[in-house]
């Protein structure tokens, strides 16, 4: 298996790295502490202009057609500078991909160019509810056909980019008489739809610049042709797209973990104790060796999952393995990095404090680590059944 990147893949990765270092890294702390929305939106627009908001979308819809491997590489580089920006970018790509996969040609032509070009700052993925997190089939939001319109009622929780999204992919129950998970459909809902309301942003531990909101639907009316895919077949769409999203979130985690260890590694060569740099001490060297080894293993798992997806092969198990391992080891790497800085790691003047907050969510959203283990074990047992 050739693990070398193609010339195009390496070029786009380098472009992402340069943009992250020049435009995102210098303002990441400001975005975290002050929440400068105008600056955040400016950076998203620049990412769109560079082609990073539709990396796996056909060129005829305004996408880059760079593929899933490049998606992972680019997300990792962006996350090394600003996790909030990377998370928004990852979800936008996921929204665009689900539209490309199941929407009608009219829907694709309407929404994909706006998501890819930055006309819409972001897209929203409305699946989670208070009673439907790890078990999305237990959702309570409903959509009822009334003449030529669907009427949606319910609430979606923890929606990334809620207050800046131009369009939402929304799941709702359309036939409650069917078994749980069988009567769910998928819709495209514009942010201006009557009856749609965005609650104030949640106050989060980390990734402060990326808004997370509750999205409320109160007799929200959308056109009959806003249905995406087949009626009552929406749950399959959600499950399929979550697998791809896990590659994105695993890549976000990897980027944060690498940023933490890169900063800590450089710090150990400068910090003096007992008359020498602390990088000379074997205990600290072994901490770095373990962290970088685990992050490299995470990278390889992500590349394997991305490669399988790009080739049209089953990749659900591999995506869950990659997301589980990358998020857990990135959390560990951030705390290792903080430990290497000692007391300075606990001070806001140093970025390890921010990295440690930003990385924590990666083992929760797009499926908790516990849910990833359920998926992995289920697939392993299915292979021998």
Please identify which of the residues 366, 370, 379, 383 carries the catalytic annotation: 366
Q: What is the pLDDT of residues 292-334, one digit of tens each?
A: 999 999 999 999 999 999 999 999 999 999 999 999 999 999 9
- Reading the block at residue 284, the tokens are 């600290």
- For the stretch 217-228, pLDDT in tens is 999 999 999 999
Domain that holds residue 188: 124-232
Instruction: Say yes or no: 208 and 323 in one domain.
Output: no
- Please indicate, yes or no, whether residues 116 and 128 belong to a single structural domain of this protein: no
- Position 61 pLDDT exceeds 90: yes
Q: Model's pTM, two decimal places? A: 0.96
CATH (domain of 201): 2.40.110.10
Domain-ending residue, one of 187, 212, 232:
232
Q: Which of 85, 120, 155 is the last residue of a domain?
A: 120
Distance in angstroms (rounded) separating the CA atoms of residues 88 and 22: 19
* pLDDT value at 1 more than 70: no
What one-character DSSP code corresponds to residue 233?
B
Residues 375, 328 share a domain: yes
User: End-to-end CA distance of the chain, in Å?
Assistant: 29
Segment 90-117 mean pLDDT: 98
Same-domain status, 363 and 266: yes
The two most distant CA atoms of the chain are separated, in Å, by 80
Clarify whether residues 301 and 201 are in a common domain. Answer: no
pLDDT for res 239: 87
- Catalytic, 366? Answer yes
> pLDDT value at position 349?
95
Token couple for 99: 């539209």
DSSP string, 76-130: HHHHHH-HHHHHHHHHHHHHHHHHHHHS-HHHHHHHHHHHHHTSSSEEEEE--BT
Count how many domains the chain has: 3
Q: Which of 132, 134, 150 is nearest to 142 (CA)?
A: 150
Q: Which of 232, 255, 281 is the last residue of a domain?
A: 232
Question: What is the pLDDT of the chain when averaged over all its residues?
Answer: 97
């Amino acid at each position: 298996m050739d693990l070398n990147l193609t010339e195009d893949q390496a070029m786009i990765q380098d472009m992402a790295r340069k943009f992250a270092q020049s435009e995102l890294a210098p303002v990441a702390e400001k975005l975290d502490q002050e929440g400068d929305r105008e600056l955040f939106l400016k950076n998203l627009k620049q990412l769109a202009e560079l082609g990073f908001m539709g990396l796996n979308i056909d060129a005829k819809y305004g996408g880059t057609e760079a593929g899933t491997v490049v998606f992972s590489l680019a997300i990792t580089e962006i996350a090394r500078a600003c996790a909030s920006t990377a998370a928004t970018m990852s979800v936008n790509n996921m929204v665009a991909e689900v539209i490309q996969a199941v929407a009608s040609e009219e829907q694709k032509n309407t929404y994909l160019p706006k998501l890819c070009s930055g006309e819409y700052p972001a897209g929203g993925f409305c699946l989670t509810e208070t009673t439907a997190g790890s078990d999305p089939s237990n959702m309570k939001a409903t959509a009822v056909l009334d003449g030529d319109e669907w009427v949606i009622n319910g609430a979606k929780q923890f929606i990334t980019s809620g207050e800046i999204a131009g369009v939402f992919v929304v799941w709702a129950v359309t036939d409650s008489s069917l078994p749980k998970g069988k009567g769910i459909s998928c819709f495209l809902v514009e942010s201006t739809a009557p009856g749609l309301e965005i609650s104030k942003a949640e106050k989060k531990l980390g990734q402060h610049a990326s808004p997370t909101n509750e999205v409320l639907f109160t007799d929200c009316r959308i056109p009959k042709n806003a249905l995406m895919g087949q009626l009552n077949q929406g749950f399959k769409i959600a499950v399929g797209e979550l697998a791809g999203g896990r590659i994105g979130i695993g890549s976000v985690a990897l980027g944060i973990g690498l940023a933490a260890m890169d900063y800590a590694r450089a710090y150990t060569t400068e910090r003096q104790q007992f008359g020498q740099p602390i990088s000379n001490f074997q205990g600290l060297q072994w901490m770095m060796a373990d962290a970088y080894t685990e992050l490299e293993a995470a990278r390889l798992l992500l590349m394997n999952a991305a490669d399988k997806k790009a080739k049209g092969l089953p990749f659900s198990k591999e995506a869950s393995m990659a997301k589980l391992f990358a998020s857990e080891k990135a959390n560990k790497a951030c705390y290792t990095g903080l430990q290497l800085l000692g007391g300075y790691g606990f001070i806001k003047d140093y970025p390890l404090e921010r990295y440690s907050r930003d990385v924590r969510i990666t083992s929760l959203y797009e499926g908790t680590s516990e849910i990833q283990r359920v998926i992995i074990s289920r697939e392993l047992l299915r292979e021998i059944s």
